[in-house]
A and B are shown apart, each in its own frame.
Chain A
Amino acid sequence: MSLKDILMPFKAWGNVFKEPVTLKDVKREGAPRYRGFHKNDVATCIGCGTCEAICENEAIVMVPVEGIETKNGDSGLRPMVDYGRCCWCGLCVDVCTTNSLSLSNEYIWTTNDPEEFRFIPGVVDKPWNNSEKGWTKPGPNFSYYGKERVPMPELKPDERDKSFIEIVRGYSKEQAMKEADRCVECGICVATCPAHMGIPEYIKAIRNDDLNEGLRILYDTNPLPEICGRICTHKCETVCSVGHQGDPLSIRWLKRYIADQQPAENYKKILETEKITKNGKRIAIVGSGPSGLSAAHYLAQMGYECVVFEKLPKPGGMMRYGIPEYRLPYDALDKDIDYIKSLGVEIRCNVTIGKDITLEELHSQYDAIFVGTGLHLGRSTRIPGTDHPNVYQAVDLLRDVTMGKDIPATESIVVIGGGNVAMDITRTLARIQNQRYGKVNIITTSLESEKEMPADHEEIIEAREERATIIPGWGPVRIEIENNKIKGLHVVKCTSVFDENRRFNPKFDESQTNFFAGDMIVESIGQGMDISYLSESIKENLKFNERGRILVNEYFQSSLEWLFVGGDIIQGPDVIHGIANGHKAANGIDKFLSEKA
């Protein structure tokens, strides 16, 4: 102890002359990165609920909001935050799939009403709603789940352009598990899928490496997983919430991965369908396409005796006779059909309804009838020259390819159409040209611009890789014929396809014309239905809607109570709608027959 020890503390008096530390401006702005109060851009938000899933305090609940409708890709729900539970960690912002959620940098907010501490950000008016600073997702590449899709192993263009070998090779276990890991389990896809498949659940089964469980989940809603796993129009992927900030999950390939892993012999054991008690009732199904097979599968599972009538030599409908083998190999198709057959479903091929047996006769022999005859009539553009014998319909040519007939592919071809069928026929003919002439000379033109083309984007890319020429945005005018030989197609620039109400109403710029040379024209602008098998007496009793389609109720039951109708002739056209229709109709038939009994 010294004198110094007594004097030194008095140095603190030096502070007397300093300005006191007082927080003068209590409204001081928080740091630009401060985690303040929640903001949400409700127009961008899709209500995926990932914020709700990550919140460790259960402070976020997804609630319906007035004025926001549920639609494909939007649950219609928005997050409601409870500030009695929130810990302001900001993980909800970091995982937000659309980047709509953020935090403001406000410090203080007071209110007398405790109810106000629970609110829907972006919907309820709050003083910080327009604040520009605050916590946002840290950087464009920051992600708590993989943004990039695991690439699918595929045949290279030069390996595939001469053959019909399947292009997509399928995921390995490691690849499938890595891809499955990206799922945020929001379920937006489930609502959008026409069959409402349990997508997050089967993806979870992949992560758990429990593929038998995965198969059971698939068969709950879809009896054609091998097929859908290859050629589904994957509306689920279009709305996938992960796709808003990166690549959407490859849901279709994951489904295929599950279906590919087990041989068909094991299906009955896994799906527990070894013993089905028959109920003695008989159902006739007309058409063995996706809707007919789906109805047959679910009815057979319920104990009904089903007989499927098919006009063509083999079952499968458009799946076999419309989709080329390089996209859907016949053994994958047969695997799904064989399992349905193994449930006791009888498929009678080469039977034409209306010719070999009439619907009335079927009605007298069976308790109920399901009709899913599909769209097999190609539509024509009806431009001058389409009556020439070298003008073909894509559906007819595709059917002939499957049936092994000789295809009249010439050295230069023009295809009209921008849908998936147009791409199928383009790529099929390109392969045949390559086999025959060693080169490809095919031009495909569509009304729609490249962005609006209904074909899958990857189909267009792959067609180009196979050296087909795709020229979108032109409308066909007439076919140039000289000496009874086709010389090519005259086209005019199409400026818009749809009007402001999204109705088909193409507009053309007559000043811009073009000519695509070719000695064969294929039309692929859509298909129509052939319901000539319906007799006059049945037609009289059936109700039709304004578009000429048979009117059905929610169970696809027509105005004749024993007649159920589904598939492309009602909805679609695509496989997954057919499957969903068939499933719903099967439930409808069961309901109808149980109520009748």
Chain B
Amino acid sequence: MSFFSIKTDRSKYPQGGEDGKLQIDLDSHKYVKIWQGPNHPGVTGNMSVELTLAGDEVVEAKTHVGYLHRGFEKLLERRLFIQGMQTSIRMCVAEPDSNEYVFCSCVEELAGIEIPEMAKWIRALILEMARLQSLLRAVPGQGGTFGLGVGVQWGIYMRELVLDRFEELTGGRIYHMFMTPGGVRGPLPTGFKKRMEETLKEIDGFIVNIDNLMFNNAVFKKRAVDVGVIDPSWVDKYGIVGPTARSLGFNRDVRKNYPYLIYDQLDFEPYTTTYSDIYNRTRVRWHDLITTVDLIRQILAKMPEKGDFKAETPNVLHWRIPKGETYVRSESSRGEYGMYMVTDGSEKPRRVNLRGPSYNNGIAVLEDLLVGANIADVGAIMVSLQVCPPEIER
């Protein structure tokens, strides 16, 4: 690959001073400061990166958030437990169901409610469908950052097919609001398994097409290989999780390491690589697509035909949950997604805190990863970390 990579003599760029900070003299006219964002297609939401460039190379990057702050965690302190479901999902638009799951699960854990078996399977199904629709945008989206728009269009169409199934199952397309503290809000519709299988068949074809279009593509390889390389030592330094950690050889997957719902009854092995550049990170996600499709098939085959879908809960209009605290985690398409909830015995949560992978990736890792990158690759690097700014600013 070295033939295609650009060699730069770093000695002529600013060096760190005694305190480790770069000595950049903007008045020297050697450097230019530009802002990428807050509206940039490279990131699905509003955040910006303050870049200091020497020529076309980034010498310093600072991430800025705050354009999107909606105070969801605070809002949740003003909502009944049943009302938190609608608020929590809006923390991440791209994959709202992880929010829904961790919120409901926190409430159930603190209230000591065991949800019915059927509800567990339907929840797992929804979570996998959500991962699928998220990856259908994220994987071809990486090509999109290099101008490869065809895959994005295919992906969006495939995602619509999954949204159709969501509409059928949950009554909503983007925000599903189908999980509720105590279970889910309905059984599987009749004929759903058959129609889901038809959708999965279409997606099978799409996965092969994307392999041809992106991963066996000279242009994509030239742009993605050896670009945005993450050092394995950063994993613990920044708390990198999910597909990004797996691309570094760390097999971290909450579904496997700490099985929740019915994941211990499913057969799957997360894909890992050992060298984390844009290419491999996208490749890991592409393999996740295959795993997810397989998991949905397994869930539909193994789930019970009948059963209660909601456990009995106290009256939700004045449901009080005893004093306590809990942390519940799940695996989203971007990695470990957790919620910490504190209750004080009242009708509303005392504190809710979300732990999302975008926070580490988007704010901390990105700052280091962009240094030395070409200005043209900034957007691609941002997307390769699958940052979702709404989830940073909750």
Q: Which A residues form the contact surface with B (CB < 8 A)?
A: 1, 4-6, 8-9, 11-12, 21, 30-35, 50, 53-54, 56-57, 87-91, 94-95, 103, 135, 138-139, 142, 144-146, 181-185, 204, 207
Q: Among B164, B177, B218, which residue has its beta carbon within 8 angstroms of that of A5?
A: B218
* Cβ B171 vs Cβ A135 within 8 A: yes
Q: Among B150, B216, B219, B314, which residue has its beta carbon within 8 angstroms of that of A181?
A: B314
Produce 1/0 per residue, B333-369, CB < 8 A to A: 0000000000000000000000000000000000000
* Cβ B168 vs Cβ A33 within 8 A: yes
Q: Among B4, B187, B189, B314, which residue has its beta carbon within 8 angstroms of that of A32?
A: B189
Residue numbers in A under 8 Å from B79 (CB-CB): 56
* Cβ A144 vs Cβ B82 within 8 A: yes
Q: How far is the CA of A233 from the CA of B227 in the complex (A)?
A: 80
Q: What is the number of residues of chain B that contact chain A, defined by CB distance less than 8 Å?
A: 41
Q: Which B residues form the contact surface with A (CB < 8 A)?
A: 4, 79-80, 82-83, 85-87, 150, 157, 164, 167-172, 175, 177, 185-187, 189, 209, 212-213, 216-219, 221-222, 309-310, 312-318
* Cβ A91 vs Cβ B314 within 8 A: no
Q: With contacts A5-B221, A88-B172 known, is A31 near B167, CB below 8 A?
A: yes
Q: Among A88, A138, A183, A207, which residue has its beta carbon within 8 angstroms of that of B186?
A: A138
Min C-beta distance of A159 to chain B, whole Å: 32
* Cβ B185 vs Cβ A87 within 8 A: no
Q: How far is the CA of A181 from the CA of B319 in the complex (A)?
A: 8
* Cβ A30 vs Cβ B315 within 8 A: no
Residue numbers in A under 8 Å from B169 (CB-CB): 33
Task: Name the CB-closest residue of B to A5.
Answer: B218
Min C-beta distance of A438 to chain B, whole Å: 46
* Cβ B213 vs Cβ A12 within 8 A: yes
Residue numbers in B under 8 Å from A33 (CB-CB): 167-171, 186, 189
Min C-beta distance of B296 to chain A, whole Å: 18
* Cβ B189 vs Cβ A8 within 8 A: no
Q: How far is the CA of A21 from the CA of B186 in the complex (A)?
A: 31
Q: Among A1, A88, A144, which residue has its beta carbon within 8 angstroms of that of B316?
A: A144
Residue numbers in B under 8 Å from A138 (CB-CB): 185-187, 309
Task: Name the CB-closest residue of A to B143.
Answer: A9
Q: How far is the CA of A256 from the CA of B157 in the complex (A)?
A: 63
Residue numbers in A under 8 Å from B209 (CB-CB): 11-12
* Cβ B82 vs Cβ A8 within 8 A: no
Q: How far is the CA of A144 from the CA of B164 in the complex (A)?
A: 28
Task: Name the CB-closest residue of A to B181.
Answer: A144
Q: Among B164, B170, B171, B317, which residue has its beta carbon within 8 angstroms of that of A54?
A: B317
* Cβ B315 vs Cβ A89 within 8 A: no
Task: Name the CB-closest residue of B to A57.
Answer: B86
* Cβ A31 vs Cβ B168 within 8 A: yes
What are 8 contact pairs spanning A and B, CB under 8 A?
Answer: A4-B216, A9-B219, A11-B209, A33-B186, A56-B87, A89-B86, A90-B171, A139-B309
* Cβ A184 vs Cβ B315 within 8 A: yes
Task: Name the CB-closest residue of B to A14.
Answer: B209
* Cβ A54 vs Cβ B217 within 8 A: no
Task: Name the CB-closest residue of B to A56.
Answer: B83
Q: With contacts A5-B218, A34-B171 known, is A185 near B185, CB below 8 A?
A: no
Q: Among B86, B212, B315, which residue has its beta carbon within 8 angstroms of that of A8?
A: B212
Q: How far is the CA of A12 from the CA of B185 in the complex (A)?
A: 41
Min C-beta distance of A188 to chain B, whole Å: 15
Q: Among B4, B177, B217, which residue has its beta carbon within 8 angstroms of that of A89?
A: B177
* Cβ B313 vs Cβ A144 within 8 A: yes
Min C-beta distance of B203 to chain A, whole Å: 14
Min C-beta distance of A146 to chain B, whole Å: 7
Residue numbers in A under 8 Å from B168 (CB-CB): 31-33
* Cβ B316 vs Cβ A145 within 8 A: yes
Q: How far is the CA of A50 from the CA of B212 in the complex (A)?
A: 55
* Cβ A94 vs Cβ B217 within 8 A: no
* Cβ A183 vs Cβ B171 within 8 A: no
Residue numbers in B under 8 Å from A11 (CB-CB): 209, 212-213
* Cβ A87 vs Cβ B315 within 8 A: no
Residue numbers in B under 8 Å from A181 (CB-CB): 314-315, 318
Task: Name the CB-closest residue of A to B161.
Answer: A21
* Cβ A54 vs Cβ B313 within 8 A: no
Residue numbers in A under 8 Å from B221 (CB-CB): 1, 5
Q: Among A9, A31, A103, which residue has its beta carbon within 8 angstroms of that of B212?
A: A9
Q: Among B164, B212, B218, which residue has its beta carbon within 8 angstroms of that of A12?
A: B212
Most buried by B among A34, A50, A103, A185: A34
